């Protein structure tokens, strides 16, 4: 699949934003985060900014962005529609939660309940985003059980890393928050490696033979291209990436998204000066952001639609 930057940015930014909202709801409700006004301004401002920028970016991939609202009417059958509806619903409890935190300096009682509601809606929204891709049986590398948990855990990992950085910037560090970020990144690494292993071992059942219904697998091949020049399907569904480039990019993603943030988080825990700790966590955020962008680019670039069987691919 063609890795459109608007969709890559959407899934990366909104995932981190929803992850940050989830952890603000959890740690605020259980009392590990004080209802500091300016911390709330920065944290909720960053979370809402990432979510909103991501959602707006997703419309750039549409042929007619001004008609994006019509997608909300197909919620019975479309994961894209469900995601859009849930994304709008998230704003209601989280905005009220942010209001209590910033203007009333409260994150307990009824406001804590609003934060918990925001957690549920945020997780459902990320799950719907994952299922937009995971529900497509025509793309073998997306249609597997690991896509939703990878999306959810990467959202939690990037969101927790942002929260860890913000707590140190505003003077509210908590060991449990740093440990949570460390555990979330480690879990994300395990799931992503399992996903890469799964798509490497599994083979699509679709082939030119099965697509045409002619003969046994391997006996049918394309004699002549159906088009004399490139068309939309070939550009969008038939993106190719060399195996050596994919392996190199996976290595970069592993180092930037998982290895370096874990090392920097551990180093930050040992650093004595707060300014050093904050600097190390800032580096961790930068590396993780770079890594998740590479990971998401690969997620799209390595996907192959079965329609490519009609354009010369032996299997999809």
pLDDT at 285: 98
pLDDT tens by residue, the chain, 316 residues: 677 888 999 999 999 999 999 999 999 999 999 999 999 999 999 999 999 999 988 877 666 666 666 777 888 888 989 999 999 999 999 999 999 999 999 999 999 999 999 999 999 999 999 999 999 888 888 989 999 999 999 999 999 999 999 999 999 999 999 999 999 999 999 999 999 999 888 776 676 666 666 666 667 676 666 666 666 666 666 666 766 788 999 999 999 999 999 999 999 988 876 899 999 999 999 999 999 999 999 999 888 777 766 666 666 6
Query: CA angle, corner 269, sides to 266 and 270, nearest 5?
Result: 95
Query: CA angle, corner 235, sides to 52 and 142, nearest 5?
Result: 60
pTM given for the model: 0.90
Token pair for 192 = 């992503």
What's the start-to-end Cα distance of the chain, in Å? 11
- What is the residue-averaged pLDDT of the chain? 88
Burial 78-92 (b: 16+ CB within 10 A, else e): bbbbbbbbbbebbee
Q: Which CATH code, of 1.20.1630.10, 1.20.1250.20, 1.10.3720.10, 1.10.260.40, is assigned to 5-311? A: 1.20.1630.10
Helices in the chain by DSSP H: which ranges? 5-29, 37-58, 79-103, 109-134, 147-169, 175-201, 208-212, 232-237, 243-253, 260-270, 274-301
Residue 35 and residue 38: Cα distance in Å, rounded?
9
Beta bridge partners of 91: none
Token pair for 234 = 């070939």
Long-range pairs for 274-280: beta carbons < 8 A, 24 or more residues apart: 274/168, 274/171, 274/173, 277/168, 277/173, 278/165, 278/168, 278/169
Token pair for 57 = 């970016």
List of residues 6+ apart from 254 with CB closer than 8 A:
189, 193, 291
Residue 19 and residue 9: Cα distance in Å, rounded?
15
Specify whether the CB–CB gap between 237 and 1 falls below 8 A: yes
Every domain of the chain and the residues it spans = 5-311
pLDDT at 226: 67
- Give the Cβ contact number of residue 108 at 10 Å: 13
Distance of CA 125 to the CA centre of its chain: 11
pLDDT at 211: 65
User: Using one digit for the tens of pLDDT, what is the confidence trace for 154-172?
Assistant: 999 999 999 999 999 999 9
CA distances for 187 relative to 142, 150, 156, 163, 258, angstroms:
20, 9, 10, 17, 10
Token pair for 160 = 């927790």
């Amino acid at each position: 699949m063609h890795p459109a930057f608007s969709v890559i940015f959407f899934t990366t930014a909104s995932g981190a934003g929803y992850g940050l909202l989830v952890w603000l709801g959890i740690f605020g409700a259980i009392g590990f985060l004080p209802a500091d006004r300016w911390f709330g301004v920065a944290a909720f401002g960053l979370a809402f900014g990432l979510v909103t920028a991501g959602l707006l970016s997703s419309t750039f991939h549409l042929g007619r962005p001004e008609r994006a609202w019509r997608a909300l009417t197909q919620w019975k059958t479309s994961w894209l529609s469900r995601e859009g509806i849930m994304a709008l619903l998230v704003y209601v409890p989280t905005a009220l939660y942010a209001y209590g935190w910033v203007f009333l300096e409260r994150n307990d009682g009824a406001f804590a309940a609003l934060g918990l509601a925001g957690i549920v809606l945020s997780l459902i929204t990320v799950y719907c985003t994952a299922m937009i891709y995971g529900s497509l049986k025509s793309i073998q590398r997306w249609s597997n059980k690991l896509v939703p948990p990878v999306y959810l855990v990467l959202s939690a990992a990037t969101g927790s890393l942002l929260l860890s950085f913000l707590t140190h910037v505003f003077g509210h560090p908590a060991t449990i928050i740093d440990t949570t970020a460390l555990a979330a990144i480690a879990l994300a690494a395990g799931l992503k490696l399992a996903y890469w292993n799964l798509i490497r071992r599994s083979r699509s059942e679709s082939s030119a033979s099965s697509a045409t219904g002619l003969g046994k697998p391997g006996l049918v091949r394309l004699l002549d291209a159906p088009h004399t020049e490139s068309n939309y399907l070939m550009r969008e569904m038939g993106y190719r990436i060399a195996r050596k480039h994919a392996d190199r990019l996976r290595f970069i993603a592993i180092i930037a998204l998982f290895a370096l943030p874990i090392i920097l988080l551990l180093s930050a825990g040992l650093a004595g000066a707060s300014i050093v700790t904050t600097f190390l966590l800032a580096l961790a955020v930068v590396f993780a952001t770079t890594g998740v962008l590479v990971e998401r680019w690969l997620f799209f670039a390595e996907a192959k639609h079965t329609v490519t069987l009609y354009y010369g691919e032996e299997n999809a």
